Amino acid sequence: MTEGELVARGDQLRTFQPSNPVEMEGFIRSLGDVIEDLPDVITDLLEARYAAERALRKKRQQRYLDHCKTMPSMRARAQSDLDAEAEYEAHDRARAAWHHADTLLKALTTKLNALLNVNKGITAAYMSYGSRQ
């Protein structure tokens, strides 16, 4: 499963509401699978974020050095920031993707823990029903 597919699957699971014990069991398994795979996705996204940061720093410094030869330092710095606009955007997109996946992992983990508690209550209810007869 690709990064995009895994994150999309996680978003679907975040809003899914199981309606019976069988769906609950299947949902818990699916949720566990996504949670298990998300750390690898987050690592990949973090590597992409750091690569974008390195590209941004490199572009800014190179353009700053180029502009320092022909204009004052403050203006050269401002111009180098303008020249690196595409790198800023790439960095921001990589950072947003990483934050989304990280937040999704936390949300799914919380939902999994809540559903495990609900499932424990359902199991206890079924077990206690048979003992009353």
Q: pLDDT tens digits for 35-80?
A: 888 888 888 889 999 999 999 999 988 888 888 888 888 888 888 8
pLDDT over threshold 60, residue 111: yes
CA distance 33 to 86: 36
pLDDT over threshold 90, residue 11: no
Mean pLDDT of 10-17: 81
Which residue, chain included where needed, has tokens 């949720």?
31
In degrees and rounded to multiples of 5, residue 83 shows phi and psi of -70, -25
User: What confidence score (pLDDT) does residue 55 get?
Assistant: 92
User: What confidence score (pLDDT) does residue 132 get?
Assistant: 54
CA distance 132 to 14: 37
DSSP the chain: --HHHHHHHHHHHHH----SHHHHHHHHHHHHHHHHHHHHHHHHHHHHHHHHHHHHHHHHHHHHHHHHTTS-HHHHHHHHHHHTHHHHHHHHHHHHHHHHHHHHHHHHHHHHHHHHHHHHHHHHHHHHHHHT-
User: What confidence score (pLDDT) does residue 71 get?
Assistant: 84
CB-CB contact of 16 with 111 (8 Å): no
pLDDT over threshold 80, residue 1: no
| Other Cβ atoms within 10 Å of 113 Cβ, number | 10
Q: pLDDT tens digits for 14-45?
A: 788 877 888 888 888 888 888 888 888 888 88
| pLDDT interval class at 114 (50, 70, 90) | confident
User: What confidence score (pLDDT) does residue 92 get?
Assistant: 92
